[in-house]
Structure 1
Amino acid sequence: MCDGGNAAPVYKIVNENFPGSNITTIQRHYFNDHNGLDFIKRLVIEENNSVVMAVKSKYYCLAAASALIKYVEFIENMVYAQESLRVVFQGGERTTMIDAGTSSILELVVNLENLKSSHSLFSVLNRTKTPGGTRLLRSNILQPLNDRETIQARLDCVEELTDSSEFFYGLQSALERFEIDIDHLIASLVQIAKQDTDKIRERRINTAILLKHVTDTVPALCESLSEGKCDLFQAYSASLKDARFCSVSDLLSNILNENCRYTKGLLNMRYQRCFAVKPGISAVLDMSRRVYSEMIEDIGELIEQLNGKYDLPLKSCHSSSRGFHVQMLTKDAPSKLPEDFIQISKTRKTLSFTTQELKTINGNIILQIKDINMITDAMIKHLNASVRSNIGCLYNLSEIVSTLDMLLSFAHYRTTTECVRPEFTDTLAIKNGRHPVLDNGRRCYVPSNVYAAEGKNFNIVTGPNMSGKTTYLKMIAQLQVMAQMGCFVPAEFASFRVASQIFSRVGSNDDMETNSSTFMVEMKEVNYIIQNVTDTSVVIIDELGRGTSSEEGVGLCWAISEFLLSEKAFTFFATHFIELCRMESIYPNIENYHFEIKHVTCNQGRFRTVQFTYALSRGFTREVHYGLDLAEMFDLPPSLIQKAHVIADEIDKRTGEADASVTDEQKANNAAYKFATRLLQVSRSSRLDDVALVEYVRG
């Protein structure tokens, strides 16, 4: 990222494509593929060491890994333990590519207008209970699967979870106990600090306590999974019966107290650390803990003495900054506090202070805690080192918990929404599909149909502004993402072709940061689509060519449409250029659709308004000057609207309508093409037997 103090070209590229990102530069010599391969060989756990064969020739992968590991070790001031990391090499062959611009436009993770808004696909689906499940859901939305077998396995699980409420709630109850972040726990376990400090010792002891909490919850999860019938549930149940879980549990039970557990709260967790190790293992540790307990009792006795001496309702409190101190309600405080009370702080409801004797006890407690942590940490170090030899099972547990949590979210969505299990064929067909975000709690949403196949792979959508074109395009892409995640979709019927890429060109705004005009932004985005589109891509384009003149815009849209037609990608093209609709008579794999509107006359025929139906129909829109009709809704001066109509009519007369001439031969060829593609589709996807299929074709 940085060479000799100067930003490398890759830095500029990343900064242009991901503006606002926090980028840290690293000097070029840290990007060393040989060091990266050595790191992987040294750090990868034994059961994943085959990854070395997959990455040994990946220069950029190894160089980036080398720089990343060195950076993390430098920032965290630690080194990773040998054979402690699960290293996996994953290319894009099993996931669908969605670029950053498309994910933003589709509002997959965050809302475009309000980053804190819940109007995004992630917010609609997110009912996860664990941090790992939340991260996995987000990554699956941004990179959905394109492996049919895995998708079907997930759909089977979601269907079983929703069909059996007892299984659903039992599994959910077991997962709720995994409230800690297993990935962070593993990271703490494998990182070895270069220098021990009080915080490092506390973190190591916390890691052991959290590890005990996790291993104690595995049997309950395994028992819940045993009730599942799907292959994925059975595979996860078998994985949780790994003997290494018992080995880790035995190692922990030999050292840690049986009642030691993870608790919330600073003081509670400190108490757990003090008494984490079993009594009787170290006489010095037992003595230190006895002294600590006596100090805590002394604080209670001191508060009681102060209560009796000054006849005040005092109580002891604890905070990270002040330690133990005295607190009382402001309304119960006398006009003048005793001189023994020092370091007084006042809030609206409470009064906090301490005494010199209490400060002395606090200081002694801190010293005693350090002694206890040092003795405990000496034992925990050896314990953690022994656990690392079985760390592979913890990586598997993290993956299982995260995936189950995400599947439970999908099941929750299915039970609270009218949706259907998607099918996967070579056709994109949706009956009465609904936008998953806008449909959330809205009864007035108008559903729409979607159809695209090999013989009808290009749909042109027209209609007035605000008629629903952009929402329709976003709905198609979001439903495609949901289906490939393994989630049910809001529709009466849904069939999808697995997409390798999802592209979008929606919206028209200047980019001030890169000094790009609206038209330049459009051309950059379209060029990216043209260079990367494949036969299995899904492309949505909205309002292309509006950043230049109408003649140039129509010409560009026509040429770009012809290119996309040749690629066989499923393309949905929303436009105001009615001239493009003439392509349907030339190319047999183009279909025209439009959103209908109604003109309503009120007040005895003096005013005419536009009523949006949001209903999609075949053919292109027949509305003329609908932009002027829409302008009337905003109370512009009537004289201005009338003048605009006159000018528009004059332009129409001059331009005329140059309809494309279509010969009878072209019409016959188009009809033959449509019939042939329909036959191919029926032969590939039909579930009818041969006799019924022949009757269907004849009919």
Structure 2
Amino acid sequence: MPQKTKHTPMMEQYLAIKAQYPDAFLFYRLGDFYELFYEDAINASQLLEVTLTSRNRNADDPIPMCGVPYHAARGYIDVLIEKGYKVAICEQVEDPKTAKGMVKREVVQLVTPGTAIETKNMDAKSNNYLSALVVANDHEFNLSYVDLSTGELKATCLTSKEDLINELSSIQTKEVVFENLDEELLQEELKNKLGVMISTQTTMVENAEFSYLTSEIEEEKTVAVLKLLLSYLSVTQKRSLSHIQKAESYIPTHFLKMDHYSKHNLELTSSIRNGQKKGTLLWLLDETKTAMGGRLLKQWIDRPLIQEAKIKSRQLIVENLMNHFFERTDLNEALTRVYDLERLAGRVAFGNVNGRDLIQLKTSLQQVPQLIDIIAIINDGEWDDLLIALDPVTEVVELIEHAIDEEAPLAIKDGGVIKDGYHEKLDQYRDAMRNGKKWIAQLEAQEREKTGIKTLKIGYNRVFGYYIEVTKSNLASLPEGTYERKQTLANAERFITPDLKEKETLILEAEEKSVALEYELFTAVRETVKQYIERLQKLAKTVATIDVLQSFSTISEKYHYIKPVMKQGTHEINLLEGRHPVVEKVLGQQRYVPNSVVMNEQTDILLITGPNMSGKSTYMRQLALTVIMAQMGCFVPAETAELPIFDQIFTRIGAADDLISGQSTFMVEMMEANQALRHATDRSLILFDEIGRGTATYDGMALAEAIIEYIHQHVHAKTLFSTHYHELTVLEESLQGLENIHVGAVEEDGEVVFLHKMMAGPADKSYGIHVAKLAGLPEDLLIRAAAILEKLEKQEPVVIDVEQAPKMAIKTSVEQEPRLDILEEEQGQLSLFDSLNPNESEVIKALQTINLLSMTPLEAINTLSELQGKLK
């Protein structure tokens, strides 16, 4: 920070304002530039790649300085916001002409990652949420969030930190506001895991508008967190928040629950490989025509329904649209002409709407009568609520039609925005300007004829106004006494005449008054439109809903999906010839091999065996995505689909380290498994792919078997469990609710062909070496692997050169639990030991004869314990 030295009044003002915003870049307005000083200048010059200079460069301690033009500042601010910084915009708040001393300046807005309403890289089909959090205790987290660009305001109460992280991850919030910094551990965890900015708001703002926005919320703690959020908005934005919608409170358990692990594993909205939209369920389903529809679709994917009636209501509308192809085509054409009503309403409220925005608003509203007509034709009763909500807001259409020019420029202070005929006085000013310019054109022609100077011309600039320009070679032709010299150029002279001066006054006065009046009229139009924001927002929600439902019908027809039968309370899955919707889109319908998932009331677990790359994971994801689509109200990829309504989906698919938390793949795997085992119910769906593979063989096998038994005996959720532990397939004999299935494969002449088809029963082998061959491993390596495999399958002891190997001894300890993962290795090394007593020899013989791979983990532990006892 700057040293305590004497500063100019301007720098004193800057430092006083900067002290109020220590964690933000201060954009301090000086003339046509925003200037930054000290650390702000040094850091911004690097981040924005602008030149770093200095103020008072000849002084002993010059002040670092950089600046950006005010008319291009938005682009620079966007860069800083997208990099996770805050920007305080400081403007002159009084007229320099009337100011005494320093012009007064204030911060007029604090832009943060959570309050940005439009940046260069902001996706029109994504929300930008700002959240606030009040922590009551370890089991109560009151959360609220708002999208400042659309006005959406919601709140909920979460009962665990895991639920909080899931919710913040789901909405992809950019910034979380706390009352203070007391929750340091939680704040650090949110920053590290979710990459959010942490902000504080220590004082609550009292505002009658807040009471209105929270009027439908009964819970006091929910009202408190909403007021924290709204206070932060009020303090940072310093402008009208009239477009913020009434707060909605919701309970996460009223929707299909999926933690952030499951959403990530299933690639619902972002790809595991590159984080992009392509290759996700959102990518498949998004045939929306509007930005509002795109945002709503994303919300529906994050929160599928669990109420049978609501699901069926959506299904019926999708079916209705599929049965009316031509009307749906007309509907889609009308929707393509609807702009982002939610964000247009937000810009109206914020006061940064321009003429073109209002034309877009009018164009959007003009499509509503057509939407009403189309839906009225196809309505069979399911459309009634949506039809009623389609409000054309004709008052706004008529106002904009009469007031705003179709070719309005982007700038609203330079004229050309208001239509001719809208205001009598404005028309008079415009007539004066047009006639005055016509008179000037006539004067130019008259002066050329009178003087005989064909190159004489009349021009205009902001400094000298109107002038007559004559080249120096023609000066002798000018009549004496009529022309008054105004400016001398290198090759010409500029003059003024009494008549031209008189007209100039009239024209410039008309232009100045015209522009001022036009801005005044535009502001009045904007304020009138602001009165209809609530109706516009309700209309936007309705149009978005229609858009998502037509997207479902378009996708369902395009890919031949069918309407699933959803049954609340049933525990059966009957999905015949189902397909993975995203993989099918990538491969094409002709190449994709469909598979069925059939589980009756008694069957809780399908144990899936088969080789890598054969399609086990695809099969599991296929069921989960089908369930999600069905509970969103969309049709699904199958020949027949009869499904229960699930309350939760848990997945453990794929392997990935959590580097930020310092957790290994196996730890992440166990944490995800723990979430399912602790929170799943008999109405949940669990997908476990290769549980236990991240640790030693017997550890992993023991855990896998115990997990299967626990689900079977305690949870009773519908579970797909894939494994390479073929030993687990014997569980079908002891667990009535478990069935074996496997992925078919055909082996011919040493080559394997995966059929990608699920079949009853366990797999006969894993085909791991065949997969390695497909991956292109060296032929010598594959031959050696095959030989080793053959020996292992025959349980032949491993031969070790005693002369070369070091002497080893078996060490056991009462306190140390036996290590099953090294039993096989030790069994092959027993030939190394000599000079053993009779008990030790007996143990060795026993270890050489037992078949560990045929034992369950528990049997192996008991056998080892018995042998260990003999050695004592």
Structures share fold, TM-score greater than 0.5? yes
TM-superposed deviation, 1:501: 1.4
Within the candidate set 186, 189, 196, 1:13 is matched to 189
| 1:276–1:236 Cα change, 3 Å | farther
Structure 2 equivalent of residue 433 of structure 1:
578
Q: Following the alignment from structure 1 to structure 2, what is the Cα–Cα distance between the partners of residues 420 and 230?
A: 20
Within the candidate set 594, 597, 606, 2:742 is matched to: 594
Amino acid at match of 2:212: R
Matching of residues 286-685 of structure 1 within 5 Å: 286-287=428-429, 291=433, 374-425=516-567, 426=570, 427-440=572-585, 441-565=588-712, 566-601=714-749, 608-623=750-765, 626-652=767-793, 653=795, 654-658=851-855
- Alignment deviations for residues 46-78 of structure 1 (CA, whole Å, 9 cap, x no partner): xxx4x233xx33x2x434423332333444431
Deviation at 1:135, TM superposition (A): 0.6
TM, length-normalised to structure 2? 0.59
Instruction: Label 1:149 to 1:280 Cα distance change in 2 as closer, same or farther (>3 A).
Output: closer
Displacement, 1:139?
A: 1.3
Query: In 1, are the aligned partners of 2:217 and 2:249 still within 8 Å (CA)?
Result: no
After superposition, residues 219-230 of structure 1 pair within 5 angstroms as 219-230=369-380
Are 1:52 and 2:217 counterparts? yes
What aligned pairs does 1:46-85 form with structure 2 within 5 A after superposition? 49=215, 51-53=216-218, 56-57=219-220, 59=221, 61-81=222-242, 85=245
Structure 2: distance between partners of 1:541 and 1:367? 78
Provide the secondary structure at the position in 2 that maps to 1:490: coil
One-letter amino acid of the counterpart of residue 235, structure 1? D
Residue 621 of structure 1 aligns with an amino acid whose one-letter code is A
2:388 corresponds, among 218, 234, 238, to: 238
Between the aligned partners of 1:24 and 1:189, the Cα distance in structure 2 is 28
Stretch moving more, 570-579 or 35-44:
35-44
In the TM superposition, residue 548 of structure 1 has moved relative to its aligned partner by 0.7
Change (3 A) 1:142 1:578: same
What is aligned with 2:310?
Answer: 150
For 1:629, give the aligned amino acid. Answer: H
* 8 Å CA contact 2:255, 2:306 repeated in 1: yes
Structure 1, residues 254-305: CA drift from partner, whole Å, max 9, x if none?
Answer: x544384666xx8478699734356353514751586389889999xx9xxx
Q: Kindly tell me the number of residue pairs found equivalent between the two proteins.
A: 563
Q: Find the structure with the greater CA-based Rg.
A: 2
Shift of residue 544, structure 1, vs aligned partner: 1.1
The whole-number CA distance in structure 1 between the counterparts of 2:258 and 2:182 is 31
**12, 22, 41: which one pairs with 2:211?**
41
| Structure 1 residue aligned with 2:293 | 133
Give the Å deviation of 1:535.
Answer: 2.1
Point out the structure with the larger helix share.
Answer: 1
TM-score under structure 1 length normalisation:
0.72
Question: Matched residues in 2 for 1:79 and 1:208: separation?
Answer: 19
Which SS does the other structure have where 1:508 is aligned?
A: coil
Letter in 1 for 2:362: K
CA distance in 2, matches of 1:369, 1:225: 49
Say whether the 8 Å CA contact 1:582–1:659 is kept in structure 2.
no
Amino acid at match of 1:579: E
Give the superposition deviation at 1:93: 4.0
CA distance in 2, matches of 1:424, 1:94: 17
Partner of 2:104: none
**C-alpha contact (below 8 Å) 1:36/1:65 kept by paired residues:** no
Is the CA contact 2:355–2:409 (under 8 Å) kept in the aligned structure 1? no
> Structure 1 270/220 Cα, relative in aligned 2: closer, same or farther at 3 Å?
farther
SS at match of 1:258: helix
* SS across alignment from 2:762: coil
Structure 1 equivalent of residue 200 of structure 2 = 27
Per-residue deviation at 1:462?
0.9
- Residue 188 (structure 1) aligns with: 347
* Mapped partners of 1:298, 1:499: distance in 2: 79
Counterparts of 2:512 and 2:254, CA distance in 1: 50
CA deviation digits over 1:498-530, x for unaligned, max 9?
A: 112111111112222221111111112122222
- Letter in structure 1 aligned against 2:238: N
Query: Which residue of structure 1 aligns with residue 284 of structure 2?
Result: 124
Structure 2 match to 1:694: none
**Contact 2:604/2:737 (<8 A) preserved:** yes
Compared CA separation, residues 644 and 217, structure 1 to 2 (3 A): closer
Correspondence for 2:91: none
Query: Could you say what the CA RMSD is over the residues aligned between the two structures, in angstroms?
Result: 3.8
Does the CA-based 8 Å contact 1:262-1:269 persist in structure 2?
no
Name the residue aligned to 1:684: none
Are 1:283 and 2:425 matched, yes or no? yes
| Structure 1 spans left out of the alignment, 5+ residues | 194-199, 303-308, 310-355, 357-364, 602-607, 662-699
Task: Give 1:569 deviation, angstroms.
Answer: 1.4
Is the alpha carbon distance of 1:641 and 1:371 closer, same or farther for their aligned partners in structure 2, counting shifts above 3 Å?
Answer: farther
For the residue of structure 2 that corresponds to 1:78, the secondary structure is coil
Unaligned regions of 5+ residues in structure 2, if any? 1-176, 445-452, 454-493, 495-506, 796-850, 859-872
Letter in 2 for 1:429: N
Query: By how many angstroms is 1:152 displaced?
Result: 1.0
Shift of 1:146: 1.6
* Aligned pairs (5 A) from 1:94-133: 94-116=254-276, 118-133=278-293
